[in-house]
Structure 1
Amino acid sequence: MEEKKTSPKAEKLFAVKGMNDILPPDSGRWEALEDQVRRLMRRYAYENVRTPIVEPTALFVRGLGQVTDIVEKEMYSFVDRLNGEALTLRPENTAGVVRAAVEHALLYNGPKRLFYIGPMFRHERPQRGRYRQFHQIGAEALGFSGGEVDAELILMAHALWKELGLTDVALQINSLGQPDERKMHRDALVAHFDQHHNVLDEEAKRRLHLNPLRLLDSKNPAMQTVIEAAPRLIDFLGAASKAHLATVTAILDANGVAYTINPRLVRGMDYYNLTVFEFVTTQLGAQGTICAGGRYDYLMEQVGGKPTPAVGWAMGVERVLDILKSQGSAQSLPLPDAYAIVPDAQALPAAMVCLQALREAGASVLMHASTPDGLASIKSQFKRADSSGARYALVFGADEMALGEVTVKPLREPDAPQVRRPLGQAAQWAHSLQSPA
């Protein structure tokens, strides 16, 4: 007798470390947050933009700055095998939005308010609140120079925290001034740190004359005293830069939004000027920033466009959802309105005509489906209906089918009566199944 041959078992594959699957029920929380953000953006008249995940490497080198952690250490970059083009998985999306606006002359008919939702990529050590593939929601206002738009964006983010029920979120603001003011500050920083050269670590010594502002981001405990004593950029601001910041803070004050002026806040990208801000929390350990942004009036010119003022922010989706979960304020997940119980396979065609009509009328219906062993018993189907969270069970039994009806049985109100509904009029009674908005 010939021996039966079996194929070798395939090796089990896993996701890349730091790039996570988002599965039900968590994916429902993502959808709920995204839906809330879309409603918020509509209220502020921001329109959706979707840019490619892969961009030319030069876009980020030119826009973010050569001497930044993102460009030097964190980008996923590669050379296209077909044409030798240097490409990068986007580590952030402001530069991509600006590139798209320049490429398509998006501001030809005037300024634009835009928002995006999507994944970003940075090659770094995965930890809570910091992943190699992470997701951001961002808002960008292109073509506006006034501080009132900076304030509008901050108010929009603040409104989102309020609607989500987030607590322990604090706003920090600073001004990076204009290039000439930053140059004076830069020269003062170099002179200051040169006087304390023996305290600097190797990374700080390397960056001192390339980008001294980055030294203020250092977490090296041995450098903190020197950093605290360093010249503050806010002390080098001219009248126009101070007035811009005053416009922002006056609007925040008028709206009752609390904030702290943090003169050490510099952000990690070189394209910022004037207003910069962060919303921070103590609930995520070292990764305390959940939303950050500021003004970048020179970025559009750096990527080949005309000089154009702009301001925006980006929010970390994973971090916000993490806080919601830890605070116990995560939004309730959507549940089906009804669960369809079909004891006999012969009833499936008629039952599914009814279910399609219910769904087209707006009701959410989960249908019990057969397995390789056939349809489960009616008792088992009722258990599944109860565990689904549905408000009603729709029973397509033999008696109901004979009369062209379906039994609607309440599952969450034990004292509520069950009723019969005509199969052919499902669109008329679909609303009675739907949960109140």
Structure 2
Amino acid sequence: MNVKIPRGTQDILPEQVKLWQWIEDKVRHITKKYRYEEIRTPIFEHTEIFQRGVGDTTDIVQKEMYSFQDRGGRDLTLRPEGTASVVRSFVENKMFGHPNQPIKLYYMGPMFRYERPQSGRYRQFVQFGVEALGSADPAIDAEVIALALEIYQTVGLKNLNLVINSLGDIESRLKHREALINHFKPRIGEFCKDCQSRLEKNPLRILDCKVDREHELMKTAPSILDYLNEESQEYFAKVRQYLDQLGVEYTVDPTLVRGLDYYNQTTFEIMSSAPGFGAITTLCGGGRYNGLVEEFGGPETPGIGFALSIERLIAAMEAEQVEVAFDDQLDFYIVALGDKAKDYSVKLLADLRNNGFSADRDYLDRKMKAQLKSANRLNAKYTIIIGEDELEKGEVQVKNMESGEQKEVKLAEFIDVVQKWSNRKEK
């Protein structure tokens, strides 16, 4: 029996989970400020959802999906990204008819891609993303970008670079597509097989190739910005204007195309420039995907969003040596000595918890010294010492672990007394 964890996955142990929960709390607080609401979709969907939504020419669909047939012969896939599932749900549940528009959603959960595992990149990873559906206003593009940046800044990252581009509307992309085909076709045989197959299907994807990125034709490829029609130029100018108003620093990169077929108009990436972060610097990517809702059978509905990996975010925090202080102090630890004291400690423990305190006790029948060491390791504020003598007197010894001060407290008054201590601390 193979009892090792599958390659490309990880166990997130309790000490690490504290950081994950801290990040998740920050993210939820930010999305609440921006009025994005959580949506939860299935971990697996019909394979066609991703083939149509993500695009047949993408690496995700061609190489990275975990697909299988269920017992009914249906083709299913573990979700490799979140947008396609959200758009499917948007259409299926007729959210386009909701009176409050645009629909602003976020998701957070595991995604699955079969790719080479490396630092901060796993085959099962947790992705957070937002989707704003129903508005073609460039101001919401700026809002989505600002939201993504705020997440990274809130967790303490400083070495951030925002790169933006415009892929234009359909008319602009068709003209650029023709120019790309004419540019690459005479020497397409010098490129990888993936690029050769993409030449006619989606030549824009050639610009995103990792194998041939140093080829000289890549450096001289026609820029999409030279093929933007007037409407697309004005749209991109407005997005930049709003980012400027928000004080968001950015760089325009005409080669930024992203790895998914559904993007048009605004695209963006946030990258880390932290020393030692690694060769792959991208933290987050997103953009506008007008037309995707129609692809799923819904009405004409513009949309924009982004997605980020929590694992990559944590890797960036480690590279920048961001320190996080967790408030995980234990309120009370009960040191019980003798059988009667142990029996009584069960009820005392429940009383403390029922009154809102965090509390624990020894379950290994250890001596007093070992129990006090355990209280220290658990970072207890107070230790309650109770033995048979204390029970006979109807009192307990309460030790302040920080000051070392120890007091006798009557059992009958114990909860009221510690509640008053707690109230004084809060004030």
Q: TM class, shorter-chain normalised?
A: over 0.9
Residues 1:260 and 2:251 are matched in the alignment: yes
Q: Which whole-Å CA distance do the structure 1 matches of 2:347 and 2:207 have between them?
A: 66
1:104 is displaced (CA, Å) by 1.1
Separation in 1 of the partners of 2:301 and 2:55? 19
Residue 56 of structure 2 is aligned with which of 44, 56, 66?
Answer: 66
Shift of 1:433: 5.1
Equivalent residue, structure 1, for 2:355? 361
1:341 aligns with 2:318: no
1:426 aligns with 2:419: no
Change beyond 3 A, Cα 1:339–1:220: same
Q: Is the 8 A contact 1:297 1:308 kept in 2?
A: yes
The answer for the alignment partner of 2:9 in structure 1 is 19
- Superposed CA deviations along residues 317-366 of structure 1, whole A, max 9, x for unmatched, are 00111222232214223422332322234224432333333333332223
Give 1:42-61 correspondences, 5 Å limit. 42-61=32-51
CA gap of 1:248–1:433, structure 2 versus 1, over 3 A, is: same
Q: Does 1:320 align with 2:320?
A: no
1:427 and 1:105 map into 2 onto residues whose CA distance is 54
Q: How do 1:233-312 residues align onto structure 2 when only pairs under 5 Å count?
A: 233-283=224-274, 284-312=277-305
Letter in 1 for 2:182: A
Aligned to 1:86: 75
- Check conservation: 2:106, 2:129, Cα contact below 8 A: yes
Deviation at residue 51 of structure 1 after TM alignment:
0.5
The 3-state SS of whatever aligns with 2:290 is coil
* 1:95-137 CA-partner distances (Å, limit 9, x unpaired): 1111111111123223211111100000111111221101111
TM-score (norm 1): 0.90
C-alpha deviations, 1:237-285, integer Å up to 9, x for none?
A: 1222222222222222122211111111111111111111111113432
Of the structure 1 ranges 341-350 and 149-158, higher mean CA displacement relative to structure 2 is found in: 341-350
Q: Within 2, Cα distance between the matches of 1:200 and 1:29?
A: 43
Aligned to 2:165: 174
Superposed CA RMSD in Å reads 2.1
Aligned equivalents of 1:256, 1:431: Cα separation in 2: 47
Q: SS of the residue aligned with 2:201? A: coil
Q: Contact 2:340–2:388 (CA<8 Å) still a contact in 1?
A: no
Q: Given residue 363 of structure 1, which amino acid in structure 2 is its aligned partner?
A: F
8 Å contact kept, 2:395–2:411:
yes
Helix, strand or coil at the partner of 1:256: coil
Note the 1:392-411 alignment, pairs <5 A.
Answer: 392-411=382-401
Secondary structure at 1:188 match in 2:
helix
Q: Is the CA contact 1:357–1:427 (under 8 Å) kept in the aligned structure 2?
A: no
State the Cα deviation string for residues 132-168 of structure 1 (Å, max 9, x = none).
1011111111112111111111111222222211121
Residue 191, structure 1, aligned to residue 214, structure 2 = no
What amino acid is aligned across from residue 222 of structure 2 in structure 1?
P
SS at match of 1:180: helix
User: Aligned to 1:226, which of 217, 223, 227?
Assistant: 217
Higher mean Cα deviation, 242-251 or 131-140?
Answer: 242-251
**Residues 144 and 201 of structure 1, relative CA distance in 2, 3 Å threshold:** same
Contact map agreement 2:183 2:222 (CA 8 A) in 1: yes
**Residue 381 of structure 2, aligned match among 383, 386, 391:** 391
Match of 1:8 in 2: none
Give structure 1 stretches of 5+ with no counterpart.
1-10
Distance 2:2 2:389 in 1: 49
Deviates more, 1:392-401 or 1:107-116: 392-401
Change (3 A) 1:334 1:270: same
Relative to the length of structure 2, the TM-score reads: 0.92
Cα distance in structure 1, aligned partners of 2:290 and 2:411: 62
8 Å Cα contact 2:264-2:287 kept in structure 1: yes
Residue 5 of structure 1: aligned partner: none
Determine the C-alpha separation between the residues in 2 that align with 1:100 and 1:231.
37
- Number of equivalenced pairs: 420
Measured in 1, the distance between the counterparts of 2:229 and 2:213 equals 33
Q: Which runs of 4+ in 1 moved over 6 A?
A: 434-437
Query: Does 2:28 match 1:34?
Result: no
Which of 308, 322, 329 is the matching residue for 1:329?
322
* CA deviation map 1:223-250 (0-9, x unaligned): 4321110001111112222222222222
CA offset at residue 407 of structure 1? 2.9
Residue identity opposite 1:30 in structure 2: W
Measure the CA separation in 2 of the matches of 1:421 and 1:117.
47
Query: What whole-Å deviation, never above 9, does each CA across 1:66-86 have from its counterpart, x for those lacking one?
Result: 0110000000001112x1110
Seen in structure 2, the aligned counterparts of structure 1 residues 420 and 35 have a Cα distance that, compared at 3 Å, is farther
Q: Which amino acid aligns with 1:313?
A: F
Q: Residues 394 and 60 of structure 1: is their aligned pair in 2 closer, same or farther, counting only changes over 3 Å?
A: same
Which amino acid letter does the alignment assign opposite residue 152 of structure 2?
Answer: W
1:367-399 deviations in whole A, cap 9, x for unaligned?
3223xxxx1001001111111222222223334
Find the counterpart in structure 2 of residue 163 from structure 1: 154
Higher alpha-carbon deviation: 86-95 or 24-33? 24-33
Q: 1:100-179 residue pairs with structure 2 within 5 A? A: 100-109=89-98, 110-111=100-101, 112-179=103-170
Residue type of the alignment partner of 2:205: R
> For the Cα contact (< 8 Å) 1:354–1:426, is it kept in 2?
no
Contact 1:128 1:287 in 2 (8 A): no
Query: Conserved in 2, the CA contact under 8 Å of 1:362 and 1:431?
Result: no
Kindly indicate whether the alpha-carbon contact (under 8 Å) linking 2:336 and 2:385 is maintained by their aligned counterparts in 1. yes
C-alpha deviation, 1:221, in angstroms: 5.2
Q: 1:194 to 1:223 in 2, by over 3 A?
A: farther
Tell me if the contact between 1:118 and 1:136 (Cα under 8 Å) persists in the aligned partners.
yes
